[in-house]
Amino acid sequence: MKEFVVIYEWTGKNYSAYVPDLPGCIACADTLEETEALMREAIGLYIQALQEDHQAVPEPTTKAKLVSVGV
C-alpha cells in the first residue's frame, strides 16, 4: 500500500484537491468530505489506468507538514 500526499484547497465556493506525485489526478466537491472521497476514487482510477497501460506507479515523494508560526 502506498500513501500519497493530497493537497486540499478552499476555492471560495468549493474544495479542490490534487496529488503532486500523480500529475493530473484531481477532484473537487462542495465539502471537504466529498472531495476526500472523490480523491480516493480518483487515485484508485489513476493507478488502475497506469497498470492497464503497463506503466509504473510512481513512488510517493512529496512530504507535507504543518508549521506553527507566532502571528
pTM for the structure as a whole: 0.90
Number of domains in the chain: 1
Domain limits for position 49: 1-71
36: domain CATH number? 3.30.160.250
* 35 in Cβ contact with 8 (< 8 Å): yes
Tens-digit pLDDT profile for residues 1-27:
899 999 999 999 999 999 999 999 999
C-alpha cell of residue 24 = 493530473
Q: List CB contacts of 57: < 8 A, sequence separation 6 or more.
A: 2, 47, 50, 51
* 17 in Cβ contact with 9 (< 8 Å): yes
Tens-digit pLDDT profile for residues 39-64:
999 999 999 999 999 999 999 999 99
In angstroms, the CA 42 to CA 24 distance is 10
